[in-house]
Amino acid sequence: MRGFWFGVYVSAVMLSACGSPERADAPAPGDAATAAPGGPVAGPGERLVPTPTAEAGRPFLRVNLEKIQWAPIDGGLGVQTSVIEGDPAKPGYYLVVNKFPPGVMSRPHYHPDERHAIVLRGTWYTDEGDVFRPNETVPLKAGDYMRHPAGGHHYDGALDEEVIVAISGTGPSGQTVLDGGARFGSSK
């Protein structure tokens, strides 16, 4: 079942990334490249182009969640990450998986790029805004999706259980903590 949701997530990310600003030089809506029979069609003011990782000849990639190589995030209070595809610091598509230990959340921050997240395991607690209120967050369970608009102030993480979340976007990405302080904090 996990493989099914991962496939749904990747498909959603590829379709939702079509309206990003990096696509300004793409063919106009209605051009042959955007109006292939049965393919996606650009809406008013949008242009579609292939995703940055869609070049021919790339091998298949399979990732087993239980075998991911995790790396600690500096100052992350135990938060770990794994880059599955691309590089968030460079231009192009990226996919990372983050693991939050119980009781740890990111603090209010924003990203320069639009990001797409799906919960793979546990319940991920999220909120929007500039004030850190872990007890007033919105829970998202395994299989749930959330889009973070570019520049949208938010925070997220774990309360009582470990949480694993897949996050993708089109880099370069980054994170700016609103008060300039620590990137992560206690949710308890």
Q: Mind listing the domains of the chain with CATH numbers? A: 2-186 (2.60.120.10)
Q: How many C-beta atoms lie closer than 10 Å to residue 6's C-beta?
A: 19
* Tokens 């994170």 belong to residue: 175
* Mean pLDDT in consecutive groups of 10 residues from the start of the chain, 188 residues: 46 41 40 51 63 73 95 96 96 96 98 98 98 96 98 98 98 96 94
Task: Determine the pLDDT at residue 29.
Answer: 43
Q: What is the pTM of this model?
A: 0.73
Task: Determine the pLDDT at residue 8.
Answer: 42
Q: DSSP 3-state assignment of 122?
A: coil
Task: Determine the pLDDT at residue 77.
Answer: 97
Q: What residue spans of the chain are helical by DSSP H?
A: 2-16
Task: Determine the pLDDT at residue 45.
Answer: 65
